[in-house]
Amino acid sequence: MEDQVVFSIIAPIFNELENLPILYQRITDVMNKASEPWELILIDDGSSDGSSELIKELASKDARVRPVIFARNFGHQIAVTAGLDYSRGKAVTIIDADMQDPPEVILDLIQKWREGYEVVYAVRAEREGETWFKTFTASLFYRFIFRITDIKIPLDTGDFRLMDRKVVNVMNTMREHHRFLRGMSAWVGFKQVGVSYKRAARFAGSTKYPFKKMLRLALTAITGFSYVPLQLATYLGFIAAGISIIAIPIVAVMRFTGSQSFFGQATTLVAVLFLGGVQLISLGILGEYIGRIYDEVKGRPLYIVSQSPADFENKNNTHQENK
């Protein structure tokens, strides 16, 4: 029976103890309406609040729950990646564990999938219970990414989406370490469509995406899908060279005609500081890309699992045999 899982639901968990029971309940209610076999993959991303224990407990009561327990915190995008790796369904849905993505929307996503779409992404038409700062920076970010990248990543769309097995198989061959999944799932192509939904407020707990992590994700998105920052140095270089070609003869003529306009060190200082700044920024941008190349070259695994669903199934079996 389990070999014919049709729907996989992936939820990354980082200290979501209070959200877990309601997540499980609502997913179960919704997925029972889909009337096909399903599985819920819960990835414990190094939680320290007892979420791991609760995940294991859920799994021991319900075989449809498949736990992936990480050895430490690897981050949201990596946790979702592990979920994709372990998923077996014909259609795979990624959802947040904090009830911000209402599980009921999954049925709308499934509906589109049945119509033949291979990626069905959920577009945030409205957001509830979020600071204006988060909404504003997020909106700015989506538009900026849209402008500077070649692939058209849908606006106001998070990771809440359904992907066909074909798409998941392609995504699973893309082992880049710095991952921006919504970009990757746009990059693969296939038949894509958006479904709009109202993003709810968090049910319990606080966000696990502080400003620093958001900034890191934004940098991953930019460096992963665009060369524009690298080309910035070239543009700035041409501008500086252009200015100097005009400025050098002017300064030379003024010097020979005895003008005092460029008397003193101030002018030199301004020019040196400006160029120094531009050069350091360009070097920093280079560093950002080189660091990422270094991470890829090391070829470390994306994540380390301390308990996989298989371990868990075996444990359940031995448990039964002992009885």
Q: How far apart are CA 83 and CA 60, in angstroms?
A: 19
Question: Contact 93/12 with Cβ under 8 angstroms?
Answer: no
Output the smallest distance, CB 158 to ligand UDP, in A. 7
16 binds, among ligand UDP, Mg ion, none (CB under 5 to 8 A by kind): ligand UDP
Interface with Mg ion includes 8 (CB under 5 A)? no
Size of the site for ligand UDP (CB under 6 A): 16
Interacting positions 243-302 with ligand UDP (CB under 6 A): none
- Which is nearer to ligand UDP, 13 or 55 (by Cβ)? 13
Interface with Mg ion includes 15 (CB under 5 A)? no
Interface with ligand UDP includes 101 (CB under 6 A)? no
Give the contacts of 111 (CB within 8 A, at least 6 positions apart).
none
List beta partners, residue 192.
119
Question: Measured on CA atoms in the order 56, 58, 64, 70, is the torsion positive or negative?
Answer: negative
Output the smallest distance, CB 98 to Mg ion, in A. 4
Output the smallest distance, CB 108 to Mg ion, in A. 19
- Which is nearer to ligand UDP, 201 or 290 (by Cβ)? 201
Closest by CA to 92, choosing from 152, 11, 155, is 11
Interface with Mg ion includes 118 (CB under 5 A)? no
Letters for 97-116 (x = contact with Mg ion by CB under 5 A, - = none) are: -x-x----------------
- CA atoms within a 13 Å half-sphere pointing along the CA-CB vector of 291: 10
Question: Contact 160/121 with Cβ under 8 angstroms?
Answer: yes
Interface with Mg ion includes 85 (CB under 5 A)? no
79 binds, among Mg ion, ligand UDP, none (CB under 5 to 8 A by kind): ligand UDP
Closest by CA to 168, choosing from 152, 183, 184, is 184
Interface with Mg ion includes 81 (CB under 5 A)? no
Interacting positions 195-214 with ligand UDP (CB under 6 A): 207-209
- Which is nearer to Mg ion, 100 or 307 (by Cβ)? 100
Output the smallest distance, CB 100 to Mg ion, in A. 4
Q: Which range, of 10-18, 94-102, 219-227, 307-315, touches Mg ion by CB under 5 A?
A: 94-102
Q: How far apart are CA 82 and CA 108, in angstroms?
A: 25
- CA atoms within a 13 Å half-sphere pointing along the CA-CB vector of 40: 32
Q: How far apart are CA 39 and CA 119, in angstroms?
A: 19
Contacting residue, 39, 85, 96, 164, with ligand UDP by CB under 6 A: 96
Dihedral of the alpha carbons of 312, 316, 321, 323, in degrees to the nearest 10: 140
Q: Which range, of 45-53, 93-101, 173-181, 193-201, touches Mg ion by CB under 5 A?
A: 93-101
Question: Contact 192/109 with Cβ under 8 angstroms?
Answer: no
Q: How far apart are CA 100 and CA 84, in angstroms?
A: 20
Interface with ligand UDP includes 156 (CB under 6 A)? no
As a residue count, the chain comes to: 323
Q: Is 191 exposed, middle or buried (0-12, 13-18, 19+ CB in 10 A)?
A: middle
Which residue bears the tokens 């002992």? Answer: 322
Interface with ligand UDP includes 24 (CB under 6 A)? no
Output the smallest distance, CB 56 to Mg ion, in A. 23
Q: Contact positions toward ligand UDP, by CB under 6 A?
A: 12-14, 16, 45, 73, 75-76, 79, 96-98, 100, 207-209
Q: Contact positions toward Mg ion, by CB under 5 A?
A: 96, 98, 100
